[in-house]
Amino acid sequence: MSDHQDLDTLAEQGQHVAHNMAEVFDISSQIWQTFMAAQLQQGTPKHADPLNTFPTFAELYRTMWDNPKEVADKTIQYWTQQSALWQHSMLRWLGAKDVPEKLELPHMMKADRRFAHKEWSENAVFDYVKQSYLLTSGWIQDTVNSVGEMDPKERKKAAFYTRQFVEAMNPANFFALNPEVLEATVSEKGDNLVRGLKMMLKDLERGKGKLLIRQTDMDAFEVGKNTAVSEGSVIWQTDICQLIQYSPKTEKVCAKPILIIPPWINKYYVLDLNPKKSLVKWLVEQGHTVFMISWVNPDARHKEKTWESYMFEGASAAIDKVLEETGQRSTHVASYCIGGTLTGTLLAWMGKNNDKRVASATFFTAQLDFEDAGELQILVDDQTINVIDSEMEQGYMPANKMAEAFNMLRANDLIWGYVVNNYMLGKDPFPFDLLFWNADSTAMPAKVHGFYLQQFYVNDAFAKGNLVVDNTNVTLADIKVPVYHVATKEDHIAPAASVYRGAKEMTNADVRFVLSGSGHIAGVVNPPALGKYQFWTNADMSQQSLDAWMGGTQETEGSWWPDWDEWLKARSGRQLNAREPGAKLGVIEPAPGSYVKVRFDKQ
């Protein structure tokens, strides 16, 4: 290539970069205008501290002031380690021999996947930025977690928000400090930034002024087309739920059917994502007649709905319809997450009223004792409940608010990773059905939401014997049916130790407690064919803690589903001819029904 051609190529490249930078400026201006217009429309925030963090950090600062020697010792230790890190990095940069690639220091955190690019380790400058961040963030979190004496709940809250801060300050989140982003910008001449900012603008518009980060390609999936595809029919509905009956896949079925009561914080089809992962499909193939509640995605029309509405107009009425459709006197029920909390209160009420319509109950990662209910509890106290109530003038908690809370629990994975991937690298998120489901969020009626937070997360009323439903005081000891109770080892929403406490308090129920590997979703949605994870069992429920219970467990490789199937069939009666959906009640529409298809981001 001649010098003239070289100059032409450089000129073209320069024009390309200049054009992209002009477009970046233009899109950035549109983003700013969209954001500001939304803020003006929403007006001044009603609450300066909606999450009630001021008292927590005031207590933390007081604790530090009261323990100056401890803070000083930790600070000296930190700067000593920073000095060692600086010396190590300089020697590496100067090419000194026999310098270890990594420097292990006491407070240093492990690098997350955003540091996977080779430059974070091979380039001395970026390696120092990374290591300094890992050291500093580890030291900050250790200090917040250990200095002085604090109320345990306040300490946990301070630690949670401190973690949010240090995760936000990760150098990978910043354009000028991320070598992968810088490399992409140079090689693509800024095309990545143009794509990324266009995506950000769309997400801001989709969120009506709030950044609604895409975690997957939301157009790659459609409910009823390539997810939630198990064959069946809606056979009954009210204004808060539809009842789906699934088509049989065997000639004979167990006499007793199964009604699944899913959470309404998310949609039911996590249990029917696709044919390979579907719990619904697997149960039908084992010869069970399966029914599913599909909760409505509520709006202002549902503002008067209460916890008791969901109990009696939803779950209890669905039980009646299952029995009417099948001609049985009792049914198994299986419930997930908040659906399990609702089911627990209904079963306790039924126990108090000698109601025999339920033959057995299965709980998937369902909390009933909320004494130590995980990180979600950090977001809930009397003041935050008052703030939430004041912001629900329309009568329901908007779906995006619910999604934000859950994303905060795993900010590195569900927020910051996508900020870098989508907006800086300009990459479309990978199509993933589980993340599509996670983003397909739901609202919650204000009165249901308020009751749940106040009575369970704040008051722990069910476990303490103070819960009243339908003018009846109910406790966990009022549950009197056989129970199969599943917790998951790495659950950040319903911690296994908390789930175990609730299971132990069912003193009048025959409880089989199972601990599954993995977390809140993967530990439940774990088909046997995948051969993943394991589960632990121990018939002795006399142990006071999960750790003590684990000492006597038997570990079994793979999914717990076959164990549950065996347990169910022992309580399911004789074999009958398979049942077609709606044989008695009739068919309203094909599964998955219309309620599950309502998306808040399309409203």
Name the residue among 166, 93, 103, 94 with its Cα closest to residue 131. 103
Known catalytic membership, residue 241: no
Cβ atoms of 588 and 233 closer than 8 Å: yes
The secondary structure element, H or E, covering residue 418 is helix 417-418
φ/ψ of residue 363, rounded to 5: -115, 125
155 token code pair: 């300490």
* Rounded distance between C-alpha atoms, residue 277 and residue 8, angstroms: 55
Integer Cα distance of 154 and 147 in angstroms? 13
Burial state string for 488-498 with b = 16 or more CB within 10 A and e = fewer than 16: bbebebbbbbb
- For residue 367 the two structure tokens come to 């909390």
Active-site option among 144, 337, 368, 463? 337
Residue with tokens 């739920």: 241
**Strand-pair partners of 468:** 473
What are the distances in angstroms from CA 425 to CA 13, 185, 187, 393?
A: 19, 8, 11, 39
Query: 345: part of which helix (H) or strand (E)?
Result: helix 338-352
Helices marked H in 477-519: 496-504
| Nearby residues of 578 by Cβ (< 8 Å), 6 or more positions away | 248, 250, 251, 252, 253, 289
Question: Residue 361 burial (CB < 10 Å; 0-12/13-18/19+)?
Answer: buried
- Return d(Cα 458, Cα 92) in angstroms, integer: 53
Which residues make Cβ contacts (< 8 Å) with residue 575, sequence separation at least 6?
252, 253, 254, 255, 287
Find where tokens 């895409």 sit: 214
Q: What share of the chain is helix, strand, coil (3-state, %, to 5)?
A: 50, 10, 35
Q: How far apart are CA 333 and CA 358, in angstroms?
A: 7
Distance of CA 539 to the CA centre of its chain: 30
Q: Which residues are part of the catalytic machinery?
A: 337
